[in-house]
């Protein structure tokens, strides 16, 4: 049995999966708390495979998985009643109305017919398709289809929803709407694992991030950990090189980032060092602020270390 | 003056009963019925099922009406016999199965809807049983319902009285039901197998109908040419031969019969083809899912 607090939505230990000779998931260990979880990685990193394993569609070659406290090894049927899935590709029948299909999807999730119809209507309203609910899905635009896909994933009121590239194929406006909807899931009491290769989408919507690369976990932790006060970004009026040299003399790590200097020093001393270096080089501060580490930075850094 | 008020109900979680896998199976079955009959679909989806069902049932209704009218003038009209009526309904069932099998399996695969099923508390076997049960319900109903109409019509105009006729002849309802099941078992699994490897419902229907209809004359020629064992490949003739056996009649010279085989061997062929087709469909479906 996987040691995991009851509140953790996912607990994975020693997970391994291969398509023939190609290893897609290689020794993954994860414990993930409730909330909105970002799953990031390049194409082929193993994101979709991991989601399908969590859904119980693909049996792992090795390892144990607990989803919402339920061991997948004891059968996926129980888990699927409590989990929703929004696939990346097409999954909607064009010859059914949105209301009919959503009602059917809710019944497939185990809801009684009357409750299913009510839920279908409610959820279509939540995703902004209430006016379109009696139109055939084949007549929907790409953005409306994406919203209908999200609706079918949550229509049976799951505790966890797995979203595979929810913004794929959307224009900027549609993308904003979809990200807003994903952000609202927490208000509905639905945990979400959001797979994406667009790092800014994850930064905007998630509070925990799992980084996958080549089937391995590069990092798993709160997104807030990526913000640090140990790095200051400084633009100066005066000699940039002189300020950099002064900062180095004060014990900081310094690198040039365009017209700015990034001064790194542990213990929150980066800002004091920046101030002292400017004074020592007889320069003036144009801009000084914390440098927020982006997912991209972490990804590149972790990939470089791994590589 | 009253003013309108907008209530934002927000998200309301489902707090009622959850039916789990049994509810999912029922939903799948109901959806299969709707899909086969074209209900809650565009009008063109309803045309074929309705026409085929009308063609199957109208002759029975017509003869019953004719008999009632003739009875008013102390005349009698001979009905179709039950075995002969299967010549009409069996052909309609063949076309219906060809179209419906593809409609049940192919769109789910082509439009990616199988991914939705995969995320619900259902197994591949649940999915296939749900689809098969829906088709069986409709096909067996429309094969058998005209016989029920004929039976009731005969009972109505019977000289021995309605109750006496029903009591004495009720067995025919069971034998016609059994023959209807045989027709379904002979055609539907093979139609599902063809549909499971095709991307277009029309193409699957064409291939299935082609295989079934060509098997009859081809086998007949080979049997006549001195290869009696090839009479077992007359797929279109097996259900008719078994139907005549069940109803204790002889409506045609069936090819397996001409080849010297007993009806029980036709039953064995039907079961063997059904099991083999089921395995093909199961393999394909598991692979896709």
Average pLDDT of span A212-224: 87
DSSP symbols for chain A? -----TT-SEEEEEEEEEETTEEEEEEEEEEE-SSEEEEE--TTSSHHHHHHHHHTSS--SEEEEEETTEEGGG-SHHHHTSEEEE-SS----TTSBHHHHHHHHHHHTT--HHHHHHHHHHHHHHTT-GGGTTSBGGG--HHHHHHHHHHHHHTT--SEEEEESTTTT--HHHHHHHHHHHHHGGGGT-EEEEEES-HHHHHHH-SEEEEEETTEEEEEEEGGGG--SSEEEEEEES-HHHHHHHHHHTT-EEEEETTEEEEE-GGGTHHHHHHHHHHHTT-EEEEEEE-PPPHHHHHHHHHHHH-
| Residue A18, beta-bridge partner list | A23
Specify the number of domains making up chain A: 2
Can you tell me the distance from the alpha carbon of B221 to that of A135, in angstroms, rounded to the nearest whole number?
A: 53
Residue A102 confidence (pLDDT) above 50: yes
Residue B198 confidence (pLDDT) above 80: yes
Q: Say how far residue B8 (Cα) sits from the centre of its chain.
A: 48
What pLDDT does residue A307 have?
Answer: 43
Chain A nearest-CA distance from B165, in A, is 42
Q: Computed over its alpha carbons, how large is the radius of gyration of chain A?
A: 23
Q: Say how far residue A76 (Cα) sits from the centre of its chain.
A: 23
What pLDDT does residue A294 have?
Answer: 67
What pLDDT does residue B158 have?
Answer: 84
Chain B nearest-CA distance from A306, in A, is 34
- Residue B14's closest CA among A13, A40, A275, A82? A82
The answer to the question of residue A170 being in a domain is yes
Mean pLDDT of chain A: 88
- Residue A12's closest CA among A83, A71, A59, A78? A71
Tokens of A62: 């090795």
Whether residues A112 and B19 touch (CB distance < 8 A) is answered with yes
Nearest residue, CB atoms, A108 vs list B9, B10, B122: B122
Nearest residue, CB atoms, B27 vs list A95, A107, A122: A107
Residue A173 confidence (pLDDT) above 70: yes
Nearest residue, CB atoms, A112 vs list B23, B31, B42: B23
The answer to the question of residue A298 being in a domain is no
Q: Which residues of B touch A126 (CB under 8 A)?
A: 11
Can you tell me the distance from the alpha carbon of A182 to that of A55, in angstroms, rounded to the nearest whole number?
A: 19
Whether residues A112 and B112 touch (CB distance < 8 A) is answered with no
Average pLDDT of span A155-167: 94
The answer to the question of residue A306 being in a domain is no
Which of the listed residues A223, A246, A272 is the one where a domain comes to its end?
A223
* Mutate which: B25, B121, B134, vs A, most A CBs within 10 A: B121
The answer to the question of residue A307 being in a domain is no
* Mutate which: B40, B105, B115, B288, vs A, most A CBs within 10 A: B115
**Other beta carbons less than 10 A from residue B141's beta carbon:** 12
Report how many Cβ contacts below 8 Å link chain A to chain B: 112
Can you tell me the distance from the alpha carbon of B188 to that of B169, in angstroms, rounded to the nearest whole number?
A: 30
Nearest residue, CB atoms, B16 vs list A80, A83, A112: A112
Whether residues B11 and A94 touch (CB distance < 8 A) is answered with no
Q: Which residues of A touch B17 (CB under 8 A)?
A: 112, 115
CATH number for the domain including A252?
3.30.70
A237 in the same domain as A108: no
Can you tell me the distance from the alpha carbon of B230 to that of B36, in angstroms, rounded to the nearest whole number?
A: 34
Please check whether residue A7 is in contact with residue A34, taking contact to mean a CB–CB distance below 8 angstroms: yes
The answer to the question of residue A271 being in a domain is yes
Mean pLDDT of chain B: 90
What pLDDT does residue B132 have?
Answer: 96
What H or E segment, with its residue span, contains residue B97?
helix B82-110
Can you tell me the distance from the alpha carbon of A232 to that of A221, in angstroms, rounded to the nearest whole number?
A: 23
Nearest residue, CB atoms, B115 vs list A83, A85, A189: A85
Domain holding A250, by residue range, is: 228-291
Average pLDDT of span A193-213: 89
CB distance from A183 to chain B under 8 Å? no
Can you tell me the distance from the alpha carbon of B226 to that of B220, in angstroms, rounded to the nearest whole number?
A: 10
Q: Which residue of B has its CA nearest to A81?
A: B121
Give pLDDT tens digits for A221-261. Answer: 998 776 566 788 899 999 999 999 999 999 899 988 888 89
- What is the ipTM for the molecules in this complex? 0.87
A85 in the same domain as A137: yes
A111 in the same domain as A246: no
What pLDDT does residue A12 have?
Answer: 94
Can you tell me the distance from the alpha carbon of A256 to that of A157, in angstroms, rounded to the nearest whole number?
A: 50
A80 in the same domain as A60: yes
Which range, A72-76, A155-159, A263-267, is most confident? Answer: A155-159
* Mutate which: A108, A114, A163, vs B, most B CBs within 10 A: A108
A188 in the same domain as A275: no
A246 in the same domain as A177: no
- Residue A72's closest CA among A119, A10, A138, A120? A10
Length of chain A: 307
**Other beta carbons less than 10 A from residue B55's beta carbon:** 16
Average pLDDT of span B122-141: 95
What 3-state class would DSSP assign to B108?
helix
CB distance from A119 to chain B under 8 Å? yes
A46 in the same domain as A108: yes
Tokens of A149: 């896909």
Can you tell me the distance from the alpha carbon of A108 to that of B21, in angstroms, rounded to the nearest whole number?
A: 8
Strand-by-strand arrangement of the A36-40 sheet: A83-86, A160-164, A191-196, A36-40, A208-213, A216-222
**% chain A with pLDDT above 70:** 92
Q: Which residue of A has its CA nearest to B108?
A: A93
What pLDDT does residue A1 have?
Answer: 40
Q: Which residues of A touch B113 (CB under 8 A)?
A: 91-93
**Other beta carbons less than 10 A from residue A139's beta carbon:** 11
Average pLDDT of span A105-112: 95
Residue A3 confidence (pLDDT) above 60: no
pLDDT band at B5 (very low <50, low <70, confident <90, very high): low
The answer to the question of residue A215 being in a domain is yes
What pLDDT does residue A5 have?
Answer: 52
Q: Which residue of B has its CA nearest to A90?
A: B112
**Other beta carbons less than 10 A from residue B187's beta carbon:** 29
pTM value? Answer: 0.84
Residue B45 φ/ψ, nearest 5 degrees = -75, -20
Name residues 72-131 of chain B within 8 A of A (Cβ): 107-108, 111-113, 115-123
Nearest residue, CB atoms, B116 vs list A110, A136, A152: A152
A250 in the same domain as A275: yes
Nearest residue, CB atoms, B112 vs list A91, A115, A126: A91
pLDDT band at A90 (very low <50, low <70, confident <90, very high): very high
Q: Which residue of B has its CA nearest to A85?
A: B119
* Residue with tokens 């979400």, as numbered in its chain: A192
CB distance from A189 to chain B under 8 Å? yes
A157 in the same domain as A171: yes
Give pLDDT tens digits for A45-69. Answer: 889 999 999 998 888 999 999 999 9
Please check whether residue B110 is in contact with residue B163, taking contact to mean a CB–CB distance below 8 angstroms: no
- Residue A149's closest CA among A131, A168, A135, A134? A168
Residue B73 confidence (pLDDT) above 80: no
What pLDDT does residue A292 have?
Answer: 66
- Residue A174's closest CA among A135, A219, A142? A142
Average pLDDT of span B193-210: 95
Whether residues B119 and A100 touch (CB distance < 8 A) is answered with no
pLDDT band at A155 (very low <50, low <70, confident <90, very high): very high
Name residues 43-102 of chain A within 8 A of B (Cβ): 55, 57, 77-78, 80-81, 83-85, 87, 89-97, 100
pLDDT band at B266 (very low <50, low <70, confident <90, very high): very high
The answer to the question of residue A115 being in a domain is yes
- Residue A107's closest CA among B131, B116, B111, B108? B116
A216 in the same domain as A235: no
Contacts of residue B31, Cβ cutoff 8 Å, sequence gap at least 6:
A104, B130, B134
Whether residues A188 and B11 touch (CB distance < 8 A) is answered with yes
Whether residues A108 and B27 touch (CB distance < 8 A) is answered with yes
Q: Which residues of B touch A81 (CB under 8 A)?
A: 18, 20-21, 120-121
What 3-state class would DSSP assign to B227?
coil
Chain A nearest-CA distance from B184, in A, is 27
Residue B98 sits at the vertex; the CA angle it makes with B95 and B102, to the nearest 5 degrees, is 145
Which range, A70-79, A165-174, B49-58, B93-102, is most confident? Answer: B93-102
Strands A36-40 and A208-213: parallel
* Residue with tokens 């593809």, as numbered in its chain: B102
The answer to the question of residue A301 being in a domain is no
Average pLDDT of span B198-222: 94
Top-confidence residue, A260 or A101: A101
Tokens of B165: 């006729």
Whether residues B111 and A90 touch (CB distance < 8 A) is answered with yes
Residue A54 φ/ψ, nearest 5 degrees = -65, -30
What pLDDT does residue A6 have?
Answer: 54
Strands A22-32 and A10-19: antiparallel
A251 in the same domain as A201: no
Give pLDDT tens digits for A14-51. Answer: 999 999 889 899 989 999 999 999 999 888 888 999 99
**% chain A with pLDDT above 90:** 56
A168 in the same domain as A41: yes
Chain B nearest-CA distance from A170, in A, is 19
Can you tell me the distance from the alpha carbon of B277 to that of B283, in angstroms, rounded to the nearest whole number?
A: 10
């Amino acid at each position: 049995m996987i040691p995991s607090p009851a509140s953790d939505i996912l607990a994975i230990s020693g997970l391994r999966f291969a398509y023939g000779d190609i290893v897609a998931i290689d020794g993954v260990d994860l414990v993930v708390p409730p909330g909105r979880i970002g799953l990031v990685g390049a194409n082929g990193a193993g994101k979709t495979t991991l989601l399908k394993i969590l859904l119980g569609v693909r049996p792992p070659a090795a390892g144990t998985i607990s989803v919402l406290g339920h061991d997948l090894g004891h059968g996926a049927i129980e888990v699927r009643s409590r989990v929703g899935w929004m696939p990346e590709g097409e999954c909607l029948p064009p010859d059914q109305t949105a209301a009919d299909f959503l009602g059917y999807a809710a019944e497939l999730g185990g809801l009684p017919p009357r409750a299913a119809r009510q839920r279908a209507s409610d959820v279509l309203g939540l995703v902004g398709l209430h006016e379109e609910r009696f139109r055939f899905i084949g007549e929907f635009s790409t953005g409306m289809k994406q919203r209908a896909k999200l609706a079918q994933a949550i229509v049976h009121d799951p505790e966890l929803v797995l979203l595979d590239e929810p913004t794929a194929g959307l224009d900027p406006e549609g993308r904003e709407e979809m990200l807003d909807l994903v952000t609202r899931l927490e208000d509905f009491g639905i945990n979400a694992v959001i797979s994406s290769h667009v790092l800014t989408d994850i930064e905007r919507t998630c509070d925990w991030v799992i980084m996958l690369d080549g089937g391995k976990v590069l990092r798993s932790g709160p997104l807030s950990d990526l913000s640090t006060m140990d790095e200051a970004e400084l633009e100066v009026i005066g000699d940039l090189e002189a300020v950099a040299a002064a900062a180095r003399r004060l014990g900081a790590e310094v690198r040039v980032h365009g017209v700015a200097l990034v001064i790194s020093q542990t213990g929150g001393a980066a800002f004091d060092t920046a101030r002292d270096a400017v004074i020592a080089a007889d320069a003036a501060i144009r801009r000084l602020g914390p440098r927020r580490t982006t997912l991209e930075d972490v990804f590149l850094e972790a990939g470089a270390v791994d590589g | 003056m009253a003013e309108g008020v907008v209530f934002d109900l927000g998200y309301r979680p489902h707090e009622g009963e959850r039916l789990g896998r049994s509810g999912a199976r029922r939903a799948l079955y109901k959806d299969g019925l709707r899909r086969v009959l074209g209900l809650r679909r565009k009008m063109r989806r309803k045309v074929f099922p309705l026409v085929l069902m009308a063609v199957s049932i109208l002759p029975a209704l017509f003869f019953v009406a004719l008999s009632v009218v003739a009875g008013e003038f102390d005349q009698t009209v001979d009905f179709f016999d039950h075995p002969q009526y299967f010549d009409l309904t069996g052909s309609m069932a063949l076309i219906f199965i060809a179209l419906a099998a593809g409609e049940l399996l192919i769109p789910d695969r082509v439009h990616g809807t199988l991914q939705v099923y995969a995320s619900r508390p259902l197994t591949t076997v649940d999915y296939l049983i749900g689809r098969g049960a829906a088709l069986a319900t409709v096909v067996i109903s429309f094969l058998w319902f005209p016989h029920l109409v004929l039976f009731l019509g005969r009972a109505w105009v019977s000289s021995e009285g309605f109750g006496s006729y029903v009591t004495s002849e009720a067995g025919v309802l069971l034998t016609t039901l059994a023959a209807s099941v045989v027709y379904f078992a002979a055609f539907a699994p093979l139609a599902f197998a063809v549909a499971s490897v095709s991307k277009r419902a029309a193409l699957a229907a064409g291939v299935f109908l082609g295989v079934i209809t060509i098997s009859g004359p081809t086998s007949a020629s080979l049997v006549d040419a001195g290869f009696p064992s090839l009479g077992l490949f007359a797929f279109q003739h097996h259900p008719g031969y078994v139907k005549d056996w069940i109803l204790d009649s002889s409506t045609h010279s069936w090819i397996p019969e001409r080849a010297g085989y007993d009806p029980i061997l036709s039953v064995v062929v039907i079961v063997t083809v059904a099991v083999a087709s089921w395995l093909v469909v199961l393999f394909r479906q598991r692979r896709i899912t």
